Amino acid sequence: MNQVNPGPEPTKEPAKQDGVVDISDAGSVLQPNFQARSKQRPGQHPPRQQKRRHRGHGSPAGAVANTQKPNRPERRDRRNYRHASPAKAKVQPLKGTIVSRGHGQKLRIIPLGGSGETGDKNMLVFEYDRDILVVDAGVKFPTPDMPGIDYVVCDTTYLEENRDRIRAFLITHGHEDHIGGMPYIWPKFPVPIYTAPLTAGFIKAKFEEHGITNAEFRIIKSGEKIQIGAFSIEPVQMTHSIPDILGLAITSPAGLVFHATDWKVDFTPAFGKPTDFDKLAELSRRGVLCMLTDSTGVLVPGHTLSEQVVSKSLEDIFVEAKGRLIVSSFSSRIDRLQHVASACAKVGRRLFLAGRSMERNANIAIDLGYLKVPQGVLGDIRTVNSLPDSKIVVMCTGSQGEEGSALTRMSTGEHRHIRIKQGDTVVLSSSTVPGNERAVEQSINNLYRCGAEVVTKSELDIHSSGHGSREEIKHILNIVKPKYLIPIHGDYRRFVEMRKLAVTLDIKEENVLIIENGQIAEFDLQGKGTISDEKVQVGSVLIDGLGVGDVGEIVLRDRQTMAADGVFLIILTVDGRKGTLLTSPDIISRGFVYMKESEDLISETRAAVKRSHAAHISRTKAQTNWELFKKELRDDIGQFLFDKTQRRPMVIPVVIQV
């Protein structure tokens, strides 16, 4: 499996790989005499070496015919960015030797994802002696430097090396950053999955889509106690933006550890009971050795809004709006869906759901009784246009400006049933995830162009974070009073801020253990906690379509090269014995220059190919080594094209011997 590790080692020269180029539909072959329509096996170019050689070698760009005068400073900037290694954040290397197995009578807590990064793929390992529990298995969405990648999940090498000790998956709640990796990771470790009913429903739906039918779910509820190996586990009712969020009190011979991810304090939540403060107080009396806690909101002062306030604001908008109402949120925000459904019932509007994930999650939540939609409120989206505008509410995905989401399609006229128009009110009921700002701006502009009224979080209290702010964190830490604290679910900055906050609450500074992905917090039987000198392998596994982990760093780098400067294919038909060229070289290019307007450049390149070929033949006599020749040709033509254009397309030579 190819993995991309954010480790400190310098990038290795990629191993030589055989690529397969299907030239049958590659486009304009300039020479009509080209007959080959079969798959050829060219060698793959070594992009790094080639780039290094070209850097700074350009002839004055203005003197080059057939190419536009490049804007040099900007171009240099862009190149510097592009040379950053893909999927490798430049972070301080973590110290420590990588170990593949835990040992001894110690409790070890190891984040495999979600610690020290944003947009996390949360996954955490608890291990004691011969038992391992895995808490959550989330996904992360790809960054713009990962073209074509759908999702990113955790590297599970450590779990693979310890599979005999894995006893269970414990899943805290149904958000993607906690369950999205399950269809890719669980089949490798088919142990029982302990979780609450709604979360189980969401995971089952994912498993069905992936054809996974053999999973064993064990439903757990607040107030119960379960024994798994050396661990005794008590689920604790918390509040978050989705029902069935569980804190986990995990007792091992080293002591009691309280794991609490993704929580806020809401005394009037959208559903069910508020946080079980009695249980937290009971844990505190028993003595909490260590608490692992959500750091997302540590930079936000004050308290988060209660969902009741959000509900009231939404109702006000519902009363005022004259035309259709389109409410956009995350599909997993079942709480928001509940408010909208209740508001619909109050003002006599019909609710329609748009977007596959929105419909799927709503149906699961309705079936399990978490979402209560009054009789007659929910309508079929296919019949939406039979009602007057003043009776319509549409709840859809797309609050992050995602391409292909229901809201985006509605604003570009691609949605089957709804097209945004004058008189519509669009409510974006979620905050923008860092990194999505531009997409959201663009989406809002599109909605304005369609004539819609747009209401965002900044105008009204229509969104509340699912993660507690500073005062809530203080509140909970004051009740639980842990001896040690491990911040989770956040980046390094938030972890340090969490430590500062904890110190004001009389937690010793040295007892706040800041560990990032792969680092190990250890607790001995005397309850002493330390950060180990050892660490485990962590990283990202990229998912592209059906492929899990088959897109590694080399493929990703090739995609970046092609996306930046295109592909340049040179096809030579040679006499197999003498090595002579039988026809003039064929050239196919995509994304590099517009070939019809660059015939001079192409014919100059063709001449350069012939020169390179002739030089090689005369040097090696008849003993031509075609692999070596292709490498030389790749370098020569790469250099030639760079001198002419200041661009570095991916050059792929193909030699056909007849």
- Which residues sit at the interface with Zn ion, rule CB under 5 A? 175, 177, 262
Least separation in angstroms between CB 327 and Zn ion: 20
The answer to whether 650 and 565 have CB atoms below 8 angstroms apart is yes
Closer residue to Zn ion in complex, CB, 175/279: 175
417, 379 in Cβ contact below 8 A?
A: no
Q: What's the closest the beta carbon of residue 175 comes to Zn ion, in angstroms?
A: 4
Compute the half-sphere exposure of residue 141: CA atoms within 13 Å on the CB side of its CA.
10
Give Cα separations from 43 to 411, 553, 631 (angstroms): 45, 17, 8
Specify the residue, 167 or 175, whose C-beta has the smaller distance to Zn ion.
Answer: 175
Shortest spacing between CB 610 and Zn ion, in angstroms:
59
Q: Which is nearer to Zn ion, 120 or 127 (CB)?
A: 120
For residue 504, the minimal CB distance to Zn ion (Å) is 25
The nearer residue to Zn ion, 175 or 613, going by C-beta atoms, is 175
Residue with Cβ nearer Zn ion (242 or 354): 242
Least distance (Å) between residue 289 CB and Zn ion? 24
In degrees rounded to 5, what are phi and psi of residue 233?
A: -120, 130
Residue with token string 């819609």: 452
Smaller CB distance to Zn ion: residue 177 or 534? 177
Cβ at position 221, least distance to Zn ion in Å: 19
C-alpha dihedral sign at 361, 363, 366, 368? negative
* Sign of torsion over alpha carbons 315, 319, 320, 324: positive
Residue 182 CB, shortest distance to Zn ion, in Å, is 14
Nearer to Zn ion, 145 or 262 (CB): 262
Q: Which amino acid is at 467?
A: H
Q: Any bridge partners for residue 132, and if so which?
A: 127, 166
Euclidean distance between the first and the last CA atom of the chain, given in angstroms as a whole number = 37
Round to whole Å and give the CA distance between 363 and 320: 29
- Alpha-carbon torsion, ordered 71, 76, 79, 85, to 10 deg: -160
**CB within 8 A of 534, min separation 6: which ones?**
96, 97, 98, 99, 520
Rank residues 335 and 359 by Cβ distance to Zn ion and give the closer one.
335
The residue (of 196 and 384) whose beta carbon lies closer to Zn ion is 196
Instruction: Give one DSSP letter per residue of 351-362, joined into a string.
Output: EEEESHHHHHHH
To Zn ion, the closest distance from the beta carbon of 122 in angstroms equals 6
Element (H, E) at 313: helix 307-320
**C-beta of 245: minimal distance to Zn ion in Å?**
7
- Tokens 């956040």 correspond to 490
CA distance 18 to 47: 14
